[in-house]
Structures are given as C-alpha cells and as structure tokens.
Structure 1
C-alpha cells in the first residue's frame, strides 16, 4: 500500500464545485485513535449559492468557511447531528465541501462502538451525520487544520486510483435544488440515496445547511 501523505493545500484552493470531485477517494483519518475512512460522496457549497450557510454573509457560525482552505467547518443541524465540511477556495470567499459518505479503511471497531451494534455495516458511514458520528467529530473539532500533521483529524491521499465520478443534484436541498453539485464514486454501493426536498426551489426561507 502506498504511504499516506497529507493533501497539498493547493488542491483545495479552487472553487468548491471544482475541488469536490477531487476529494473522492481521499482519506479522512484520526491518527490518535487509528481510524480512517475513504471519502466516496461529497457536496459543494459556495457563497453565491442560496443553499449555502455563507449566502447571507459572514457570521460567527460560518466564519471558518471564509478561509483559509483546508480547515474543517463543523456544524450542528436538526438539534442532534454534527456534519463535517472541508473549506475550499481563496481566503475571504465563503465555500466548503460537505463530506456525505465514506467507506471504512481502518478502525471499524472504534467506529462501530460509537454507532452501536444495531447499525448495519452499509449505514455506518452513509450520510454526513453518520460519518461525523462514527469518527467522533463534533463542534470541538470545528476549525481544525486538516492538513496539519499535529491535527487530530487529517485529510490525506494514499495513491488510490482516481475514481469514475458521477454528479447530480444535492440531497434534501430546497434552494438551488437542481444544481448538480453532489459528486460520488460511480456505482459505489454506500452512496446516499437521493431524496429531493418536498418544497424544492420555492422562494423564501433560510438557506439549507451546507
């Protein structure tokens, strides 16, 4: 197996829709506990996108999305779930890529202990909240530099063959619902099921979570 190396920050400094497919096949790892997953599904969000947290400008909650690239934007949603994003783009432009689903590389026992015995293997990391839960990612890790060798959560590459990428609308997004900014490894069995928001593209209301 090729040795893992932290991703180069330059890979993440493009616009989120361009960076997002490049994250497929990369490794999100927690060296402190020996867990690692391979990213298989992502979604891009940008400040010019009405579905993004940054659409209405910088706030204390979304400030990390305005850069620098390579940091983690971790947010709480529905009063019960954490979700993990990788910040992209140049400093000052609010954008990030949501990590939607992954497959286990190592440390399944640790992740299984967090998720519980009743969870099916296919659902262990299928969905952004499940992914964050399995890796123990919460608000305390918001803002960490994923490319820092001393970080408790890191984004790395291991020479994995570039996957065949598919693209389509984002899951459960109400505004800009038809924008094809969800990317996944084509044919992978652990990719999320696409669910269209029941009020997709209606006017008004707050932006959807990024």
Structure 2
C-alpha cells in the first residue's frame, strides 16, 4: 500500500517516484509509466495558477491523495492526483500506463470490443495518453474530488523504472516559460508512454 504521506510533497518529487506504481479502479489495474507535475500558483500551466479554488478546481486544493478529473477539448477526461499540502493547488497528471488487469474492460471502454480483437496498433494505443488512461479507468468529472484511499481505488508502490526520463510537458503552448519546464517524467523503456522526447 502506498501511504498518503507519499503525496504530501511537491509533485516534482512525487512525479518521477510514482513511475512504476500501480493504480486500481474497480476491476482495472494499471502500472503508471508517465506523469506530469503541476505546481499551482508557481505554474502558469496549472488549472490552479490563480491560487483561488473554483467549482472545477476545488479538489486540487484539497488533501493529498484526492482525485482531480477535468474535462478538456469538449471530449476528453484527464486524471490527476492531488499532491502537497491542503490549499497549495498541486497535482500530478497521469499521462501513460500499461494495463495489468482488466484488459477486456479497458478495450471495451476504448474501442468497444474485447482485447483479443484489438489490432496491434489499438493495443499499443490502449492507454498511452492521459485521456486514454482516464477512459480506460472509466472515470469522469463525476469522480473528481473522490479519495483514492477509499474503494473502488487502490494505490500500490511499484519499482521505479531504471530509465526515468525528464522532459518538457505536452500540450501547453500558451503557458509562457512554464511551457518548457521539464516536469514530465516517463519510463523510457515502456510502450505505454504517450510521446518520447527526441534524442
């Protein structure tokens, strides 16, 4: 079991150390292989940058270990874990994973068919992105604010990958200097990563 104190730190610390850990939601278990840190009022790319909670962002200012799910582009949900102290507005976005249990359920949610019927490309793209991962877990904004230390959630510490890569975050072109912060972390040897940095 991963203790709540693990998340009561800056997501800059939590992000790389959470790689290799396991998140379970109901019948679906995934190994996390890519994360992004968001630092509230110190980060123009964070939804909590203003420092003032809104109806949408209120969970980000709550206790470490809470779930923050947001809706974006009118079609996608993304899953975050609140980090730091209450009121800081820090969070860790889960960007990529590998399915460990519940392959058929994830495949049905993503592609509407059993895992065995997926093409090689569909298998590769099953949960290698934040919206794909969130859909695989079956989470929506209705789950935002829930405590990951209560059912149907489980968090378990895994082995940190040997090849942890630090890179710029993705999809935040209008965040000034924050656009280039190297606050994305991923397992360089995993196929579950959304996008690997160019060498």
Q: TM-score, normalised by structure 1?
A: 0.83
DSSP-derived class of the 1:193 partner: coil
Q: Does 1:28 align with 2:28?
A: no
Which structure dedicates a bigger proportion of its chain to helix? 2
Matches of 2:16 and 2:131, distance apart in 1: 20
Matches of 1:192 and 1:56, distance apart in 2: 28
Contact 2:21 2:160 in 1 (8 A): no
Q: After alignment, is 184-193 or 123-132 more displaced?
A: 184-193
The aligned residue for residue 74 of structure 1 is 69
Contact 1:144 1:153 in 2 (8 A): no
Contact 2:65 2:83 in 1 (8 A): yes
Q: Please list every run of 5 or more consecutive structure 2 residues that lacks an aligned counterpart in the other structure.
A: none
Following TM superposition, by how much is the alpha carbon of 1:194 offset from its aligned partner in structure 2, in angstroms? 5.2
Q: Does 1:120 align with 2:113?
A: no
Q: Does 1:156 align with 2:156?
A: yes
Q: Please list every run of 5 or more consecutive structure 1 residues that lacks an aligned counterpart in the other structure.
A: 196-210
Following TM superposition, by how much is the alpha carbon of 1:67 offset from its aligned partner in structure 2, in angstroms? 2.0
Match of 1:41 among 31, 34, 40: 34
Q: After alignment, is 167-176 or 68-77 more displaced?
A: 167-176
Following TM superposition, by how much is the alpha carbon of 1:101 offset from its aligned partner in structure 2, in angstroms? 0.5
Contact 1:67 1:89 in 2 (8 A): no
Matches within 5 A, 1:108-187: 108-116=103-111, 117=113, 120-148=122-150, 151-157=151-157, 160-164=158-162, 165-174=164-173, 175=175, 176-187=178-189
Following TM superposition, by how much is the alpha carbon of 1:179 offset from its aligned partner in structure 2, in angstroms? 0.3
Q: After alignment, is 37-46 or 60-69 more displaced?
A: 60-69
Matches of 1:82 and 1:40, distance apart in 2: 18
Cα deviation code 1:83-102 (max 9, x no counterpart): 00000001110110000000
Following TM superposition, by how much is the alpha carbon of 1:187 offset from its aligned partner in structure 2, in angstroms? 2.2
Cα deviation code 1:147-193 (max 9, x no counterpart): 22xx2233222xx3321211010012121111000000122222112
Question: Pairwise CA RMSD of aligned residues?
Answer: 1.7
Matches of 1:87 and 1:183, distance apart in 2: 17
Matches of 1:88 and 1:124, distance apart in 2: 27
Q: Does 1:12 align with 2:7?
A: yes
Matches of 1:145 and 1:190, distance apart in 2: 25
The aligned residue for residue 95 of structure 1 is 90
